[in-house]
Structure 1
Amino acid sequence: MTRQMDGQIIFLKNKTIPIDKYESLSRRYNFNKIKFLPLIKHTNLPNEILSLFNDLSYLESLKYIIVTSQRTVECLYLEVIPNLTLEQTNQLFNKRVYTVGPATGEFLRRCGFKDVIGDEMGNGNNLSDMIIDTLNPETAGQFLFLVGLIRTDIIKNKLLNAGYNVKEVIAYATEPLDNNLRHLQEEIDVQQENWVVIFSPQGITEIIEYLRDHHSHNIKIASIGPTTEAYLLKHGITPHVSSPKPSPESLLQVISSYE
């Protein structure tokens, strides 16, 4: 049975559009307040993707796309798909898309992609292993990997080392916003429990210094993903909970079970 939560939950991320599953699921747990605090600014960079997809021969030959970020899906949803012809859109939606995490997978399906797999993989390392175990590099053709300007190279390097052809195209850029720590301090409610959910190491330098040096009984820290947890541990912060999967369901379950 779901435990009902008191206090507020603060997600250190941009709210996903058009639907953010973290918000909708948090309401079921009866948090008094649900807040989103963006730490980074996203700038969509659709031009190179559009150039590729406007080449119908390329689009017809492309079999596989890799998308691991909701920001990439937003770029596709807002700035790529609306500028394609019906024929191009139909071609695109029938491509197999590899992803990690249920939230990104569900967003891709809502956009119209019909063949999305990898939701349960959880991270790029596992996704790479799944691709290597199931596809022959000699017959797979080229993978189109849509990435952010700042990214790790785990997937690309593992696939390249295994003999796959991977074309990497940047879909968006990010940069930290100003005064992230001050904005978080303004959102903390000293009269109740505050769960602070950290999604990424980007934009949190001052925040983790503050959390490490100003322990507070009414602030609890949740981490999503092994990369973020490792970053926090390296900088002297042990999160109260760490979501075993990068999904709203997994996150809210570990928070609700925390005692």
Structure 2
Amino acid sequence: MFAQEDMFSNIFQEGQSVIVHYVVLASGLVIETSSTVIRIQCDLLMTGEPSRKNLVLFLKGAARFSGEVENRDLYIRYFEERGVKSIALPPLSYSVAYENESLLYEALNNVNAYSGLIVTSKRALLLLQLVIKKLEEHQVKKILSTPLYVVGPSTKLAAEKLFFIDCRGGHSHNAQALAEYILSSSSATSSPFLYLCGNNHLRTVSVKFASKGYLLEEIISYKITENEGFKEKLKALLVQEAISHIVFFSPSAVSFSLPVLLQFIGKGVRVGAIGKTTSSSLADANVRVDFEAQAPQPTALFNSIKSHLWPE
């Protein structure tokens, strides 16, 4: 990469008058004059701001546990392909709630008593998968044909890999949207729904259901704790690196990070979130949300943040 001034002095002779139009692509800068089109391989440029001034911190992902396959580099790759450096720091650690295995076994052994199963995270599927393997074949067939309501396409895909044949609500991006979908697409019955959730889940689904007279049973199928050494690693990052933007991927990430982040937020660091639920958690903590991605996808996040990366 060479300086912009040197680049243009090598292209145009001194005193030459030209009309210049330019288009920025991920692969470089395209300069069009009245007589020719010149392609220059360079870093992604927008409104003259070099990408090195932006360093985005993703508070996402978690320490993995057996059975989970997670592409944690997807966001980093997407941003760096567009000239934006980013790093990820996992705030959370997940573990299967093995202590509730017998409770879930008993419930699934009587799955006909439920109107459907609800899963808002693919991590909840791990205990479900473990229990299914221990049930009789005829009972497994009943479970796999029971309506399974899920949040997001990744959870839907994970459920289908377990051979669930009636997955619904995969278009929903959060628990509130899924709850609203269930309430609008099914009639209230005397049979409850079985909700497989985490230990610190928000009460969104249960409150929505109660307001409409729907019954809900909850079984904790996975546990969320703070990743070991997270606060120390986060503080070191914020001190040593020139972080320009921080993105929160979950309400839990907000709660575990705030004691450290409040010392740095507002000092030129912009804050963003994935989804309305995480944005609300930040707002409740009196943290201004500068940008919000409407869906948990790299494209949606990049579209929400790019005006802050390259302000006009």
- Output one character per residue of 1:229-256: Cα deviation in whole Å (capped at 9) or x when no partner: 1221232322342221244553344345
For 1:39, which of 92, 99, 102 is the aligned residue? Answer: 92
3-state SS of the aligned residue for 2:73?
A: helix
| Aligned partners of 1:68 and 1:100 also within 8 Å | yes
> Residues 243 and 80 from structure 1, CA distance in 2 versus in 1: closer, same or farther, beyond 3 angstroms?
farther
Matched, 1:228 2:228: no
Task: Give the corresponding residue for 2:258.
Answer: 208
Q: Distance in 2 between matches of 1:104 and 1:210?
A: 31
Q: After TM superposition, where is structure 1 displaced by more than 6 Å over at least 4 residues in a row?
A: none
Letter in 2 for 1:147: C
CA distance in 1, matches of 2:303, 2:71: 14
Matched position secondary structure for 1:170 = strand
Change (3 A) 1:249 1:81: farther
Task: Structure 1: state its 5+ residue gaps.
Answer: none
> Is 1:83 equivalent to 2:131 in the alignment?
no
Provide Cα deviations, 1:20-67, integer angstroms capped at 9, x if missing partner.
Answer: 2453354243365653414344342433112222x2xx2345441111
1:105 to 146, 156, 172: 156
1:146–1:181 CA distance, 2 compared to 1 (3 A): same
* Number of aligned residues: 253
Q: Which residue of 2 aligns with 1:24?
A: 74
1:199 pairs with 2:249: yes
Aligned to 1:72: 124
CA distance in 2, matches of 1:136, 1:60: 16
Q: Percent identity?
A: 20
Q: Does 1:51 align with 2:94?
A: no
Unmatched tracts of structure 2, length 5 or more: 1-23, 27-43, 45-50
Counterpart in the other structure of 1:123? 174
Q: Which amino acid aligns with 1:70?
A: K
Deviation at 1:133, TM superposition (A): 2.0
Q: Does 1:96 align with 2:147?
A: yes
Distance 1:124 1:113 in 2: 20
Which residue type is aligned with residue 177 of structure 2? N
CA distance in 2, matches of 1:221, 1:174: 23
Paired residue for 1:11, among 59, 65, 79? 59
Q: Contact 1:66–1:143 (CA<8 Å) still a contact in 2? A: yes
Q: Establish whether residue 161 from structure 1 lines up as the match of residue 211 from structure 2.
A: yes
CA distance in 2, matches of 1:20, 1:257: 29
Aligned residue in 1 for 2:38: none
Contact 1:177–1:203 (8 Å) recurs in 2:
no
Question: For 2:123, what is the secondary structure of its paired residue?
Answer: helix
Rounded to whole Å, the distance in 2 between the matches of 1:189 and 1:175 is: 24
Query: Does the CA contact (< 8 Å) of 2:93 and 2:224 recur in 1?
Result: yes
Partner-residue secondary structure (3-state), 1:174: strand
For the structure 1 residues 13 and 28, does the alpha-carbon distance in structure 2 shift closer, same or farther, using more than 3 Å as the test?
closer
> Higher RCO, 1 or 2 (CA under 8 Å, sep at least 6)?
1
Measure, in 1, the Cα distance between the counterparts of 2:238 and 2:161. 34
Q: With the length of structure 1 as denominator, give the TM-score of the two structures.
A: 0.77
CA distance in 2: counterparts of 1:64 and 1:209, whole angstroms: 39
1:134 aligned to 2:185? yes
Alignment-mate amino acid for residue 60 of structure 2: L
- TM-score of the superposed pair, with normalisation by structure 2: 0.66
Cα RMSD after superposing both structures = 3.4
> Contact 1:40–1:203 (CA<8 Å) still a contact in 2?
no
- In the aligned structure 2, how far is the partner of 1:247 from the partner of 1:95? 29
Equivalence map 1:248-259=2 (5 Å) = 248-256=298-306, 258-259=308-309
